[in-house]
Structure 1
Amino acid sequence: MLAELKGLNEECGIFGVWGHQDAASITYYALHSLQHRGQEGTGIVVTDGTKLDIFKGEGLVTEVFTSEVMSKLSGKSAIGHVRYATAGGSGYENVQPLLFNSESGSLALAHNGNLVNAKLIKSILEQQGSIFQTSSDTEVLAHLIRRSGERRIKEQVKSALKQIEGAFAYVIMTENEMMVALDPHGLRPLSLARLGDAYMVASETCAFDVVGAEFIRDVLPGELLIINDEGIKSEFFSENKPSAICAMEYIYFSRPDSNIHGINVHSARKRLGKKLAIEAPIVADVVTGVPDSSISAAIGYAEASGIPYEMGLVKNRYVGRTFIQPSQSLREQGVKMKLSPVRGVVEGKRVIMVDDSIVRGTTSRRIVTMLKDAGALEVHVVISSPPIKNPCFYGIDTSTKEELIASSNSVEEIRELIGADSLTFISTEGMLEAIGRIDTDKNCGQCVACFTGEYPTELYPESLQYYYQK
């Protein structure tokens, strides 16, 4: 589904490379491949071994990093970030990586995720004299690192990581090393690769493919990697906790050509579609998917059901990110600017429309209406995720509980609200089985809190206050 239209927004994307003569260029291409994870801002920090240089800005990777900018970013190592604002607002000051300078040396941070105790820690630090320059929860880690009291940077980072809770994948860089950390539950995806003598880390493996790097392995929950000119070393800052990678990474967020914990995302989505065909057998003429993230599931549904897959919806790829909508009435027609029904495919047909999720329901209603206006006799909506009933506190913008249509409406009530002839969500059990993770935990090592309300970490009052508030 189109995230910016329906209220389900990506997290962020991080990348780091150590020991490559074209580190900035490598990072540029990697960030471009991760652009789907954030379109509000991007930045790159490079080091030549003696100093850190930064360039960042609001906008897309290709808008921020012109050829002139790239020519000035030289160094053997770099970290980069693409941002979608979750905790903290938008604005230049919140664009990452964040760079901090002090007499003891410089430090750059890039973060994917959200800390559930950031507000509490920030309040304590401010009472102790800390001054924050951004509203991003990422800055909290930098203050904890510098105030740790430890002498070595590795121990400073470990001390800081032990104090934060929530979802986090960090890449941290100083003049002479890069450190990588994943939260104890592994809520965010993070992988390690190699290109020649250079090591790389990224939120998704598609970033490695675009630069020709060889995947090594996934970063483990609670793991701290220290990468420098001497090589790579692995340590742990946390005891083992139940694995809980975000299920929506497989369903929606990640690119279909990425692999997460050995599972190809496209293949997982096809299996979700096939499972839906079993759980929701429907008599129809064509199957179509909402571009782009639902296409794989729609193909799977068509293969399992024997109903032909057709391109019933076309995505307009030339509506710019900064398109200015001049009135509220036009703003409400945003779906029509992004999607168009193919009348020749749907007219006079019973259509199965496959989508990955329903958040507020407004976009689903408009797409169903468009298909019927284009002549579809029936529109049956099948969703490759269970109903999203609970907000996410780990880096996904799924709004508040009150704004989630499934939190206060039954499936039948949602069907009526979106105008579909039928509506089926995949079961939680069916979703877990289709994704294909092998784990002894009842949730198969995935976070399913937005569906079940069972959160893998403690939640703090500053998070829960948004649970029922707009």
Structure 2
Amino acid sequence: MREAAAAGYRRPRAARRCWLREAAAGGRAGGEPPRAAARCPLPGAPCPAATTTCRRRHGAGGAGHPGGVRRVRLHRLRRVAHRAGRAPCHHAGAGGAAAQGMGLINHVFNADSLKKLYVSNLGIGHTRYSTSGISELQNCQPFVVETLHGKIAVAHNGELTNAVRLRRKLMRHGVGLSTSSDSELITQLLAFTPPLENDDTADWVARIKNLMNETPTSYSLLIMHKDIIYAVRDPYGNRPLCIGRLIPVGDMNGKGKDNSETEGWVVSSESCSFLSIGAEYYREVLPGEIVKISRYDVQTLDVVPRPEGDPSAFCIFEYVYFARPDSIFEGQMVYSVRRRCGQQLAIEAPVEADLVSTVPESATPAALGYAQKCGLPYVEVLCKNRYVGRTFIQPNMRLRQLGVAKKFGVLSDNFKGKRVVIIDDSIVRGNTISPIIKLLRESGAKEVHIRVASPPIRFPCYMGINIPTKEELIANRPEFHDLANYIGADSVVYLSVEGLVSSVQESIRARQENENSLKTQKSRVGKIGHCTACLTGEYPVELEW
């Protein structure tokens, strides 16, 4: 998800552009001939779910509902906006429309633009922040391409580890690519590669399997063709994807589990988006699974396996930072995992102090766990300006630094003259923590100790997180060897890699042991593992350049 730096600083706009145009997703018999280059539903736009050689991080989602999905899609995008603050899009099904724009979701999809969208029974949407390439509309999703078998729209979260080879393959066969995006590459590979040699049929499941066999990771995909959405996770399960069930209006207590009582289906990067649209968490898309989602049904079509013996490789940084605490991954709530990380951190790095607090908000569960384990009170010392976005996902350093300055206020009466332990979820570039310590000291803190509920991030991510260079990471800079003095703290200690992995896998392994004791059917997930490449430099697959 890495993106090349822009040639010069460009002032961001809340909504640089917004287009609307009809987009017949179904394709007619003898429809338009295939185009050489995939294109966004509008000329270059931000859309459903995506990833690219540019390196991006995204929130993706789709919906199928007999009564129309326009509002469902919009509310779902709002609920995953923490994953990507700008460039939202969605693409409707047969007879529908497409809308995209640069900026915040509420700015791009206002009341006027929504009125112009046709009511559709099917749709996919996407939010993104740039990770490679520039935050331009042309790199936004979903990507749409016309084929002999009708239009397909593709939304992608992740980054292909062998994109260079695949791009060359397409270009050798005369397929042009108009962007640097992995997502466009995936779209063209699906359109270009027939399920059998010299047999260019509309077997999209076979085409998807061909794609999965060509590239092992990293991707979660939403692929819309006519009245079907295919939800796909790579065999390693590196990026999240889950399914929700739209609850009938008369059954908002959620008791009805029969599919016959379901109003429709939604799919999203995170389950936190479901409740606000009247849906409930149904299940995850498994690693390697291809799921068919229609207006009325969810069906597993196939599961593409990993190489024998390889564990799954779900991104551990989702638990650390990116996901909302009320989301569910691998059968456990992110909040519970973060709290266990705090408890483990208290075991590994206790300190004499008067109170425990946090850098709001993603570190709050870890701080509560640390305080509980140490027997110290949890006290708020910072208040957050909720109208300032997450500094980590700002597209450049200048915006990140300005965001820190405007982000926090100090509750000095709560800690004057006291020894304070601040729990942070991660220290990536070191932009935020130093000015926070300065604020606390100037406001009367006697001591400030920093405890980080994750290990030092030392390596770039090549599978969808915006950690583009080693030089940006504070753990690789000379000052890291005297980090406490550099940031102005009395002490700094990180959670160990072993402690993080143990906290994440504790509940998963307990559940597996219980299933084994009950002699239930063998899990289709296979050997459990997590991607810790940004911490250890050990990538789950060989990287190709």
TM-score by length of 1: 0.89
Moved more, 360-369 or 223-232: 223-232
Residue 219 of structure 1 corresponds to 285
1:370 is the counterpart of 2:442: no
Any conservation in 2 of the 1:99–1:107 contact (CA below 8 Å)?
A: yes
Residue 27 of structure 1 corresponds to 73
1:245 aligned residue (314, 327, 340): 314
Moved more, 10-19 or 259-268: 10-19
2:103 aligned residue (59, 69, 86): 59
After the TM superposition, which parts of structure 1 deviate over 6 Å for at least 4 consecutive aligned residues? 328-331
Counterpart amino acid of residue 405 in structure 1 = I
In the TM superposition, what are the counterparts of 1:89-128 in structure 2 within 5 Å? 89-128=134-173
Residue 432 of structure 1: how far off its partner (Å): 1.8
1:191 aligned residue (229, 236, 242): 242
Residue 284 of structure 1: how far off its partner (Å): 0.9
Counterpart amino acid of residue 452 in structure 1 = T
Residue 280 of structure 1 corresponds to 349
Residue 449 of structure 1 corresponds to 533
Whole-Å Cα distance in 2 between the matches of residues 22 and 292 of structure 1?
35
Any conservation in 1 of the 2:122–2:227 contact (CA below 8 Å)?
A: no
Moved more, 255-264 or 222-231: 222-231
Give the root-mean-square deviation of aligned CA atoms.
2.5
1:337 aligned residue (406, 412, 421): 406
TM-score by length of 2: 0.77
Whole-Å Cα distance in 1 between the matches of residues 544 and 472 of structure 2?
21
Moved more, 270-279 or 147-156: 147-156
Residue 88 of structure 1: how far off its partner (Å): 3.3
Residue 40 of structure 1 corresponds to 86
Residue 172 of structure 1: how far off its partner (Å): 0.7
Cα 1:204–1:332 shift into 2, 3 Å = closer
Residue 3 of structure 1 corresponds to none
Cα 1:316–1:296 shift into 2, 3 Å = same
Whole-Å Cα distance in 2 between the matches of residues 44 and 346 of structure 1?
47
Residue 41 of structure 2 corresponds to none
Whole-Å Cα distance in 2 between the matches of residues 274 and 310 of structure 1?
17
Counterpart amino acid of residue 171 in structure 2 = E
Structure 2 unaligned residues grouped into runs of 5+: 1-54, 196-200, 247-261, 392-396, 513-524
Moved more, 307-316 or 15-24: 15-24
Counterpart amino acid of residue 42 in structure 1 = P
Find the residue that maps to 1:460 and give its secondary structure.
coil
Any conservation in 2 of the 1:361–1:414 contact (CA below 8 Å)?
A: no
Any conservation in 2 of the 1:52–1:106 contact (CA below 8 Å)?
A: no
In the TM superposition, what are the counterparts of 1:371-390 in structure 2 within 5 Å? 371-390=440-459
% identical aligned pairs: 39
Whole-Å Cα distance in 2 between the matches of residues 444 and 182 of structure 1?
15
Cα 1:257–1:93 shift into 2, 3 Å = same
Cα 1:354–1:321 shift into 2, 3 Å = closer
Any conservation in 1 of the 2:264–2:295 contact (CA below 8 Å)?
A: no
In the TM superposition, what are the counterparts of 1:56-455 in structure 2 within 5 Å? 56-73=100-117, 74-150=119-195, 151=201, 152-195=203-246, 196-228=262-294, 231-236=297-302, 238-240=304-306, 241-319=310-388, 332=401, 334-409=403-478, 412-435=481-504, 436-439=506-509, 445-455=529-539
Whole-Å Cα distance in 2 between the matches of residues 224 and 288 of structure 1?
43
1:15 is the counterpart of 2:52: no
Whole-Å Cα distance in 1 between the matches of residues 432 and 390 of structure 2?
18
Residue 412 of structure 1: how far off its partner (Å): 4.4
Residue 237 of structure 1: how far off its partner (Å): 5.4
1:460 is the counterpart of 2:544: yes
Any conservation in 2 of the 1:437–1:444 contact (CA below 8 Å)?
A: no
Any conservation in 1 of the 2:419–2:445 contact (CA below 8 Å)?
A: yes
CA deviations 1:398-449 (Å, max 9, x no partner) are: 13112212135586422222121101101112112222343599x9521111
Residue 31 of structure 2 corresponds to none
Whole-Å Cα distance in 2 between the matches of residues 186 and 153 of structure 1?
21
Any conservation in 1 of the 2:265–2:295 contact (CA below 8 Å)?
A: no
Counterpart amino acid of residue 350 in structure 1 = R
Whole-Å Cα distance in 1 between the matches of residues 382 and 528 of structure 2?
33
Any conservation in 2 of the 1:298–1:354 contact (CA below 8 Å)?
A: yes
Residue 17 of structure 1: how far off its partner (Å): 1.1
Whole-Å Cα distance in 2 between the matches of residues 414 and 390 of structure 1?
18
Any conservation in 2 of the 1:10–1:37 contact (CA below 8 Å)?
A: no
CA deviations 1:108-130 (Å, max 9, x no partner) are: 11111111111221133223222
